[in-house]
Chains A and B, each alone.
Chain A
Amino acid sequence: MRVLGCGPSALLVEFAGTDARAAAAAAAWLDRAETARPAAVTDLVPGARTVLITFDPAAVTVAAVRAWAMGLDAAAAPARPESPPAPLRIEVDYDGEDLPAVAAALGMTVPALITAHTAALWRCDFTGFAPGFGYLRSDGWAHTVPRLSTPRTRVPAGAVGLAGPYTGVYPRATAGGWQIIGRTAAVLWDERRDPPALIRPGRAIGFVAR
């Protein structure tokens, strides 16, 4: 683990190793950080293999936050007596426009791809791009899918897409370059709901074919 400077009011914690290992290390560090978070730390934002710390520079020095971050690396993981919540089930109509092309590119039949996608246990590594958009990765899904060379100007809300090693569900209609394999009626983002985002970092998710 190393801590990179990121301006006067942020630091970037980065984890080494394979994508899967780094994501797991980042998640564990984030867990410890949220448990022991000083008031001056204003946000903790996970990435693919990083966690961004933002803080109030009027309340704490960069050096103090850096020391806190480094100290968490060695700290023991907090006790987790309760078993993790059951995976969130998301029902999907696997009828996306790019489904045949993605299956062909991966050397699979469409039914085999659907079986593989629904068999995998997915985990939200981080969010971004839009409120409620989670980047989901699975140790049971080893495929990498390229983005569209020309993004669509409009991807409908609820579209289920693939890019790189990730699956993502578009919370609202936006432009998008991910390969669309299906759609869900689940409401990924509702600003009036508590919590507003259905998919948050650390959440386990399973897809179910309708």
Chain B
Amino acid sequence: MTLLIVRAPGALTTVQDGGRPGLGAFGVGRSGAADLPALGAANRLVGNDPGAAGLEITAGGLTLAVTARAILAVTGAAAPVLIGRPGQAPLPAGTHARLVLRAGDTVTVGSPTAGLRSYLAVRGGIVAEAVLGSRAYDSHAGLGPAPLRAGDRLSVGAARGPLPTVDAVPPPYRPPGPVELAVWPGPRADWFTPAARRLLLAQRWRATAAMDRVGVRLAGARHLERAVAGELPSEGMVTGAVQVPGDGAPVIFLADHPVTGGYPVIAVLTAAAVARAAQLTPGVAVRFVPGG
């Protein structure tokens, strides 16, 4: 069986797949890849099902060695990819393309120049112990395989189905300027003043360093003012919800968000916007735009 041996784990590299949907009533969130389209693209390039288990690499720094011939792809953030081969200088490879590694090769995903999370898929998928039907690491609930450490050995599954004829796909376009996130009105938009609802769309926001797989906290010149005082009885939350705690600074919920919460949700991101939000880095400017 082919193994991937972790030479360097990076700051935070976790096994992720399509997650474990349908368990909210047990208090278990869906989790899974924060940027699902990126994981899907990597998997499709190597002929896997889109939700197959791969690696989510946060801020780069991962080096893996392969024990046998392996077919890989790296998508997500714009990051350098290097193939190390014994006796040769490192070979620059690319993201969004199918890579073929020989036994003994290493692959390194470097620090991103744009975006935050890289996704590495291997043909056959990562074989790790499934919890409640998924191999995803849920950082909030503490479910699934622990983040990677140096020396870890990951098993690769058997390839299923053919390789696609396409061996490279265009990376997502990142226009200059603030990252635009399309939103629908949230269930508690009426908990905010009309001025606050306008401000949400008019103000230039900034992603702060307070970000992880649970969510991204935003800062802005002015905070969002409530029309309804008091606490919100706990209700179910969705990925992509823009939740506004008491201080009026919005938080965008990502894959490991709490299943229920007591702060009002003023807006909800589209799926495409969630993928962009999963790639925000501290300091990046953000604008909400009407979606749907």
Contact = CB atoms under 8 A, between A and B. Distances in A.
Contacts, number: 118
**DSSP majority for the A interface?**
strand
A78 interface: no
Interface stretch (B41-49, B96-104, B265-273): B265-273
Interface string A49-65: 11110100000000000
Contacts of B188: 4
A48 B237 CA distance: 13
Interface string A1-44: 00011111110101000010000000000000000000000111
Nearest to B184: A7
A46 B236 contact: yes
A128 interface: yes
B53 interface: no
Contact of A47 (B21, B28, B236): B236
A45 B259 contact: yes
A128 B23 contact: no
Nearest to A127: B27
A196 interface: yes
Interface stretch (A93-101, A105-113, A129-137, A178-186): A129-137
Interface in A117-134: 126-134
Given A43-B22, A127-B259, A172-B142, A52 B238 contact: yes
Q: How large is the interface on A (under 10, 10 to 19, 20 to 34, 35 or more residues)?
A: 35 or more
Interface residues of B, number: 38
B91 interface: no
A8 B28 contact: no
Nearest to B140: A130
B268 A8 contact: yes
Contacts of B265: 6
A200 interface: yes
A206 interface: no
A14 to B, nearest CB: 8
A51 B261 CA distance: 13
A8 B269 CA distance: 8
11 contacts: A6-B187, A7-B238, A12-B236, A42-B22, A47-B236, A49-B233, A52-B235, A52-B238, A129-B258, A131-B143, A197-B26
Interface of B: 21-28, 30, 131-132, 141-143, 184-188, 233-238, 240-241, 258-261, 265, 268-271, 291-292
Closest 6 CB pairs of A and B: A52-B236, A7-B268, A128-B260, A47-B235, A45-B24, A45-B236
Given A42-B22, A51-B236, A129-B259, 20 more contacts: A5-B186, A6-B186, A6-B238, A7-B238, A8-B270, A10-B268, A19-B233, A43-B21, A43-B22, A43-B24, A43-B25, A45-B24, A47-B233, A47-B235, A126-B234, A126-B260, A129-B27, A130-B27, A191-B131, A196-B26
